[in-house]
Structure 1
Amino acid sequence: MAEEKSVEEELSLPILLAEQIRKAVEEAESFKVECSEVGRQVERLSQMLRFAVRFVTSTPSLYERPVRCIVADVAKNLDRTLTLIRKCKHSGLLRCVVTITSATDFRKAFNLLDASMGDMKWVLSIFDSVTSGGIQVSLPPFANNDPIIPWVWSFIASIQMGPLPDRVEAAIELASLALDNERNKKIIVEEGGVPPLLKLLKEGASPDSQIAAATALLNLATDQERVRVIAREQGIPVIVQVLFDSSMKVQLGVADLVARMAEHDPIAQEEFARENAIRPLVSLLSIDVFLDQHNHGKPSIHSIVQDHKQMGKKTSTITITAKKQKQNHSTDSRSSSSSSLYYSDAIGRYGYHRKDSENENPEVKLQLKISCAVALWLLSKGSVSNSRRITETKGLLCLAKLIEKEQGELQNHCLMTVTEITAAAESNAELRHAAFKTNSPPAKAIVEELLRVIREVSNPLLQIAAIKSIGSLARIFPARETRVLGLLVKQLSNKNPDVATEAAFALGKFACPENFLCVEHSKTIIENDGVPPLMRLLRANEWSQYHGLTLLCYLALHVGNSEALEQARALTVLEGAIRSVNSQNPSLKELISKAIYHLEVYRSGIHLHRHPYAP
């Protein structure tokens, strides 16, 4: 591709054309009056072009887009005018024939030159208003029918070249335009609006300027293409840096931007992680999380951490701290100390403004935590590497505590993050073994909270998320962990069919052949009276039937001699089900066939045992 010309080079062409027109006017032999008028218009236009050259060469951070577009249009009009004037050089028979159209052509030329002068006057007024303060809101002739482009040019020029108050105002205007429709967003990006917005965000001249820039970028980042434009302009390192060292209100807007970009583009999702965005997000999410000193009732995260310390599994620094506390304080005091240590690690390592955070409005703190939770959720969604990074930053402990203590949006988004992390652990054995060891305090804390949500929370959406997470972790539970299966079996009778179906799906992951302990888990499910509610679930909707039949087949394959299955007439149910299973589910049909065969073998064996052959 040819290298783009500089703005000075772009301006040189119309200036050269204007000079050629001046000479052609002097040589004209027909339509001398009209040619003279054209010459006067072109001279005024040439002066504007020369002034533009002086301005361009003396302005270091020029916003070039409007100059390039308007100068290119001016050059076309001057070229047409030059062709017209040159026709007036000679007279004769041919000239008489052309005369009929030449008068019309001159009228067109006058109109084109008037429009070019209006456009040049407008573009010069933009830069004049920017340098002197203020935002240009008038429209050039070329945009009478579509004001969006000149408005966008004016706002971008102010952001790139104007004083700080005008830059903030212009960024707010761009954000508002971007909210109106997709076309406006496309125009803003195509006209180069992203780089000056990122520059405004990076400079950190004031919190208001950063918030305005982040909001405008947030409103633009609503599809993959525009997100990738932001990434190509090196926006992700800028965003992460602002996330590290800005005020809370700015961090709130930037966390929303991280979430939006991660949601729309998997490449941006991974790039944020490579730029270390997860650590500040987890740290901001953990503000005030470990400050309360006492917990009562069931084992808390603090006591889990303390137990882990006593086992000598933490780092040497934490172990030494725990030993000192053990000599002088009670268990509760030790728990408080460990909590403070985690809080200090979350805040101190990254240089956040601790006093500012302590004095910040509680509503801002809450909204910031919500935004960080959403960002972590969308960063971890479908990403094993990002989920691993969250577990490596004490993120699981933080998420568990928030699920325990919070309500509403924050609790929900933290739970959704856990759901994504556990799903990643289900698909990746390395992550599962590293983050969800049976003696790991974060793993214990997460499991305790997931079970509590299933047991105590009445919101079906939260229950489903918690059940889904437990199902994803099915392979980490030993055979002796019967309380988890007992709780899931209880949910098979849940009044909400979606919760009951999710419980069946989760139990299926315990009982499936891929689970090393599938036989032991299947026996536990039956021992907890799981068969009767499972049979009732088969009478629900198609989705419930699918997961219910799958679980029933696993139970039949692993514990085919169960009296509970015989009493529930599982064989008869499966024989009826195989005839009605949709042909689009060949795997389920094959599974049912295997289960039927298995149950028939056991039935035959029982029958022979009860009625031995007697000659």
Structure 2
Amino acid sequence: MGDLVKQTLATPIQLTDQVTKAADEAATFKQECAELKSKTEKLAALLRQAARASNDLYERPTRRILDETVQVLDKALSLVSKCRGNGLVKRVFTIIPAAAFRKMSSQLENSIGDVSWLLRVSASADDRADEYLGLPPIAANEPILGLIWEQIATLYTGSVDDRADAAASLVSLARDNDRYGKLIIEEGGVGPLLKLIKEGKQEGQENAARAIGLLGRDPESVEHMTHAGVCSVFAKILQEGPMKVQAVAAWAVAELAAHYPKCQDLFAQHNIIRLLVSHLAFETVQEHSKYTVVSKATSIHAAAVVLASNGAAAADHHHHLDDDKDQMPRPNQMYNVVTTTMSAVKPNSGCGGGGGGGKVSSLHSNHLHHPSISLSGASTRAREAEDPATKAQMKAMAARALWHLTKGNSAICRSITESRALLCFAVLLEKGPAEVQYNSAMALMEITAVAEGDAELRRSAFKPNSPACKAAVDQLFRILEKGDSELLIPCIKAIGNLARTFKATETRMISPLVRLLDEREVEVSREACVALTKFACAENYLHLDHAKAIIEAGGAKHLVQLVYFEQVVQSSALVLLCNIAMHVPDSEELARAEVLTVLEWASKQAALCQLEEVERLLPEAKGKLELYQSRGSRGFH
């Protein structure tokens, strides 16, 4: 921006010459004008020095300081020009308060301080040495602005270590206050942070990537960073950078995608989805260095899968899968599901060979079809040499990024489910550290949520006889059975999202969900109601079978209690109860639980009846029950 700055500097330099000339011609207040002239000449010298160093000046403070300086010099010229008159009448009628000169002198001092600070802050690290920069007068009313300018200037001109420290300072500022983050972006901090990620040492790269993640707190900020090239920088790091930096970059991707979902496709265009799945697959599945997203449903059968390198499941190797392909595997069959997937085709059979499975329709976005990503041998060896904690953190952040990138995005979900990611999530849900498990569960929840509304994705990725689907569902079921995990809510939601994929014979999900209706945590009970409603609603083809299974598992009595006594869960429980009553109105269990009485009571509750779904379902459910059951009776007509 050197030429532009030179042009901008021309105006204040010309003004200093005019002020100096007018001061020489002063006929009144000569002493005061001489003082202003002296300060103006000092300012002119600094401005000319700035013009010579214009290529090195930090743009944002330069513009603000020069604008302020021009205003000060305009006022100085106006003041000094009033002192040039020689006529007696002009002298009598030109009244200049003495305070005006004191104020003008102070303003010129401030401009001198601002330009002097600008030259120091824009100097190279060697020229500046350890000189204390202080605060420029222009930032006196907003000290944090001066600090931000100083740190960003250091990112431009500082040594490698100084740049790492400056990025750490920006991390602290961005973490403390959203407004500070906005200022960092407005003052041009994104560009040098991205440059530090590309060129810095590991500590500087980590700090810069963390700062980028913290700055992306709103759509406008994230959009600014995508225009600045954050996607390509993160893609390069996720492919080639040190694993600790890659983990921070993956976390930052998650933050940006969470606050601005429109950037999901931009990340996909830069291969970041593939790179993240590659990290997820590392030491979770075989052939991680040859990971490729393919468009055959059978690609999941072709994926060569192993459990994590700790070999915890080796003891299960002698077991065999159940002969019934429609039956979901039991927990101790996890390894068998994985090894069966491995043996389905040869390891290098690419798109699934000539076996079963039809062609899945192409992705919505052609940009998701890129050549496979292959990591060099040196890169793979470097990853293998990392300590277990770093590897676990990398998997946790990769899963977190995929969680936010898949949210509401059918194309990315299809890309992921056509890879080995579902199997990775299944293995990590069982064997991963707590954070890895949680992020994997959240990712599965988002993928299944998209699949719930995308019939094509649901059919291709969650076929009941798919080993990958079986493995994932088995782990969801295990967590439901356990019933006391932090993973419970996302897993309940994921099972509910898949309600339409289960066969009539596959009823094992119903019992644990019904048991969770009696959970002490009302949020868990509410989510269990919502999930069971997806099994029992009319939109589910097997709603009659599922409604009967809910009744057989003892759901009626739990729902009656929730409708009466749990206000948070009340509406969700009532909707589920209405669905069951509509489909199985002749149930003796519903009669014993006095469900008709409950529905009559609910129909008199104004708050409940105002809910759209209750208003639609309650009259029909109540009418069907009245055909089969007596009010207040425990038996039938």
Deviation, structure 1 residue 498:
4.0
Which among 178, 181, 186 is matched to residue 182 of structure 2? 186
CA distance in 1, matches of 2:619, 2:530: 20
CA distance in 1, matches of 2:343, 2:205: 46
Deviation, structure 1 residue 125:
2.0
Deviation, structure 1 residue 346:
10
Does residue 388 of structure 1 match 2:414? yes
Deviation, structure 1 residue 295:
5.2
Query: Could you tell me whether the CA contact under 8 Å between 2:392 and 2:433 is conserved in 1?
Result: no
Aligned pair in 2 of structure 1 residues 528, 47: CA closer, same or farther (>3 Å)?
closer
Aligned pair in 2 of structure 1 residues 550, 29: CA closer, same or farther (>3 Å)?
closer
Query: What corresponds to 2:200 in structure 1?
Result: 205
Aligned pair in 2 of structure 1 residues 433, 134: CA closer, same or farther (>3 Å)?
farther
Query: What corresponds to 2:35 in structure 1?
Result: 37
**AA at the equivalent of 2:13:** I
**Residues 161-240 of structure 1 correspond to what in structure 2 (within 5 A)?**
161-201=157-197, 203-240=198-235
CA distance in 2, matches of 1:33, 1:492: 89
**Residues 465-544 of structure 1 correspond to what in structure 2 (within 5 A)?**
465-494=490-519, 496-544=521-569
Does residue 111 of structure 1 match 2:137? no
The DSSP-based 3-state class of the residue aligned with 2:123 is helix
**AA at the equivalent of 1:386:** I
Aligned pair in 2 of structure 1 residues 568, 248: CA closer, same or farther (>3 Å)?
same
Which among 85, 96, 109 is matched to residue 101 of structure 1? 96
RMSD: 3.2
Which among 452, 455, 461 is matched to residue 429 of structure 1? 455
Which among 60, 65, 68 is matched to residue 63 of structure 2? 68
CA distance in 2, matches of 1:551, 1:31: 90
Q: Deviations over 1:66-90 (max 9, x none)?
A: 2222222222222222222222222
The DSSP-based 3-state class of the residue aligned with 2:610 is coil
CA distance in 2, matches of 1:53, 1:96: 39
Q: Deviations over 1:542-572 (max 9, x none)?
A: 3433233322322222222333233333333
The DSSP-based 3-state class of the residue aligned with 2:96 is helix
Query: What corresponds to 2:261 in structure 1?
Result: 266
**Residues 186-335 of structure 1 correspond to what in structure 2 (within 5 A)?**
186-201=182-197, 203-289=198-284, 290=306, 291=309, 292=311, 294=314, 296=316, 298=330, 300-308=333-341, 316=349
**After alignment, is 136-145 or 151-160 more displaced?**
136-145
**AA at the equivalent of 1:554:** N
CA distance in 1, matches of 2:424, 2:378: 18
Which among 153, 163, 176 is matched to residue 157 of structure 1? 153
Deviation, structure 1 residue 164:
1.7
**Residues 407-446 of structure 1 correspond to what in structure 2 (within 5 A)?**
407-446=433-472
Deviation, structure 1 residue 348:
4.7
The DSSP-based 3-state class of the residue aligned with 2:496 is helix
CA distance in 2, matches of 1:169, 1:406: 34
Query: What corresponds to 1:89 in structure 2?
Result: 84
CA distance in 2, matches of 1:559, 1:16: 91
Query: Could you tell me whether the CA contact under 8 Å between 1:11 and 1:71 is conserved in 2?
Result: yes
Query: What corresponds to 2:614 in structure 1?
Result: 588
Deviation, structure 1 residue 497:
4.6
Does residue 27 of structure 1 match 2:52? no
Query: Could you tell me whether the CA contact under 8 Å between 2:239 and 2:375 is conserved in 1?
Result: no
Query: Could you tell me whether the CA contact under 8 Å between 2:257 and 2:264 is conserved in 1?
Result: yes
Query: Could you tell me whether the CA contact under 8 Å between 1:415 and 1:466 is conserved in 2?
Result: yes
Query: Could you tell me whether the CA contact under 8 Å between 1:247 and 1:353 is conserved in 2?
Result: no
Q: Deviations over 1:570-599 (max 9, x none)?
A: 333322332236232243134122122222
CA distance in 2, matches of 1:446, 1:102: 83
Which among 471, 478, 481 is matched to residue 455 of structure 1? 481
Deviation, structure 1 residue 301:
4.5
**AA at the equivalent of 1:186:** K
Query: What corresponds to 1:139 in structure 2?
Result: 135
The DSSP-based 3-state class of the residue aligned with 1:353 is helix
Which among 410, 422, 425 is matched to residue 399 of structure 1? 425
Query: Could you tell me whether the CA contact under 8 Å between 1:42 and 1:113 is conserved in 2?
Result: yes
Aligned pair in 2 of structure 1 residues 27, 168: CA closer, same or farther (>3 Å)?
same
CA distance in 1, matches of 2:501, 2:233: 39
CA distance in 2, matches of 1:311, 1:210: 42
Aligned pair in 2 of structure 1 residues 114, 81: CA closer, same or farther (>3 Å)?
same
**AA at the equivalent of 1:38:** L
Q: Deviations over 1:391-415 (max 9, x none)?
A: 2332111111111113422212211
Aligned pair in 2 of structure 1 residues 66, 320: CA closer, same or farther (>3 Å)?
closer
CA distance in 1, matches of 2:410, 2:629: 45
Aligned pair in 2 of structure 1 residues 385, 98: CA closer, same or farther (>3 Å)?
farther
Q: Normalization by structure 1: what TM-score?
A: 0.85
Which among 12, 16, 25 is matched to residue 10 of structure 2? 12
The DSSP-based 3-state class of the residue aligned with 1:579 is coil
**After alignment, is 489-498 or 419-428 more displaced?**
489-498
Percent of aligned positions that are identical? 40
CA distance in 2, matches of 1:408, 1:478: 31
Deviation, structure 1 residue 514:
0.5
Deviation, structure 1 residue 13:
0.5
Aligned pair in 2 of structure 1 residues 395, 101: CA closer, same or farther (>3 Å)?
same
CA distance in 2, matches of 1:530, 1:180: 48
Query: Could you tell me whether the CA contact under 8 Å between 1:245 and 1:351 is conserved in 2?
Result: no
Aligned pair in 2 of structure 1 residues 539, 462: CA closer, same or farther (>3 Å)?
farther
Which among 561, 574, 587 is matched to residue 562 of structure 1? 587
Aligned pair in 2 of structure 1 residues 295, 241: CA closer, same or farther (>3 Å)?
farther
Q: Normalization by structure 2: what TM-score?
A: 0.83
Q: Provide the aligned length of Structure 1 versus Structure 2.
A: 578
**Could you list the runs of 5+ residues in structure 2 that have no partner in the other structure?**
285-305, 320-329, 356-370, 631-635
**AA at the equivalent of 1:502:** E
Aligned pair in 2 of structure 1 residues 555, 71: CA closer, same or farther (>3 Å)?
closer
**After alignment, is 85-94 or 463-472 more displaced?**
85-94
Aligned pair in 2 of structure 1 residues 532, 49: CA closer, same or farther (>3 Å)?
closer
CA distance in 2, matches of 1:154, 1:506: 54
Query: What corresponds to 1:340 in structure 2?
Result: none
Deviation, structure 1 residue 123:
1.6
Aligned pair in 2 of structure 1 residues 306, 74: CA closer, same or farther (>3 Å)?
same
**AA at the equivalent of 2:463:** K
Deviation, structure 1 residue 389:
3.0
**AA at the equivalent of 1:390:** I
CA distance in 2, matches of 1:553, 1:596: 8
Query: What corresponds to 1:335 in structure 2?
Result: none
Aligned pair in 2 of structure 1 residues 280, 130: CA closer, same or farther (>3 Å)?
same
Aligned pair in 2 of structure 1 residues 35, 586: CA closer, same or farther (>3 Å)?
closer
Deviation, structure 1 residue 527:
3.9
**After alignment, is 586-595 or 522-531 more displaced?**
522-531
Which among 368, 379, 397 is matched to residue 353 of structure 1? 379
**AA at the equivalent of 2:207:** A
Deviation, structure 1 residue 30:
3.1
Aligned pair in 2 of structure 1 residues 98, 352: CA closer, same or farther (>3 Å)?
farther
Query: Could you tell me whether the CA contact under 8 Å between 2:338 and 2:423 is conserved in 1?
Result: no
**AA at the equivalent of 1:260:** E
CA distance in 2, matches of 1:104, 1:590: 78
**AA at the equivalent of 1:9:** Q
